[in-house]
Amino acid sequence: MIADEDSTLESNSAVSLGLIVTELLTNAIKYAFPVAKADARVRISFEQHADDWKLSVADNGVGMGSTATPPNPGGLGTAIVAALIKQLGARLTEQSTATGVTVSIERSTFVSSPRKAA
Ligand SMILES: Nc1ncnc2c1ncn2[C@@H]1O[C@H](COP(=O)(O)OP(=O)(O)OP(=O)(O)O)[C@@H](O)[C@H]1O
Ligand SMILES: [Mg+2]
């Protein structure tokens, strides 16, 4: 786990992030390594700058949709994570290859306000 020591989050957001981490970590443990792997790893990272933050959970397993992990698009876990992300005003990106899955959840409050040319 990589964390910025000075980070602070509202307790509601911290609880939601905790639930999300638990679900994603459980998924990695359940599905990423159907066959034991000596260098199996799950990396959890959290970065925060002011009100913006990014959480990532990455494994080096078999990836989604491999024959060993039949797809289950209607999983309750996916639905709960989606609801929590909506509540947090964040967005999810998922990358899945044959060398692992990375799920990132990002909240960005930055709003661009371009100036008009003179
Ligand atoms: N880290 C991962 N590596 C490989 N496959 C994954 C990974 N995470 C999820 N999956 C695949 O995505 C599917 C959907 O995950 P989801 O969490 O929605 O459901 P579930 O874990 O099967 O059920 P639940 O979360 O309700 O207990 C899983 O069934 C699995 O096939
Ligand atoms: Mg799950």
Domain ranges of the chain: 2-107
Provide the 10 A C-beta neighbour count for residue 13: 17
Residue 2 banded pLDDT, cuts 50, 70, 90: very low
Q: For 49-92, how does the pLDDT look when each residue is reduced to its tens digit (9 = 90+)?
A: 988 999 999 999 999 987 666 667 768 999 999 999 999 999 99
Question: Residue 3: which of 43, 62, 34 has the closest Cα?
Answer: 43
Alpha helices in the chain (DSSP H): 11-27, 76-88
Residue 1 alpha carbon to ligand 2 centre in Å: 20
pTM here is 0.88
Q: At 86, give phi and psi (nearest 5°).
A: -60, -45
Residue 27 alpha carbon to ligand 2 centre in Å: 5
As a whole number, mean pLDDT of residues 85-105 equals 97
Q: Which two tokens stand for residue 116?
A: 């008009």
**Protein residue with least CA distance to atom 1, ligand 1:** 28
The top-scoring range by mean pLDDT among 21-35, 59-73, 104-118 is 21-35
Q: For 33-50, how does the pLDDT look when each residue is reduced to its tens digit (9 = 90+)?
A: 999 999 999 999 999 998
Can you tell me the distance from the alpha carbon of 61 to that of 98, in angstroms, rounded to the nearest whole number? Answer: 7
Can you tell me the distance from the alpha carbon of 72 to that of 78, in angstroms, rounded to the nearest whole number? Answer: 9
The top-scoring range by mean pLDDT among 9-13, 18-22, 112-116 is 18-22
Question: Minimum-distance ligand to the CA of 62?
Answer: 1
CATH architecture, domain 2-107: 2-Layer Sandwich (3.30)
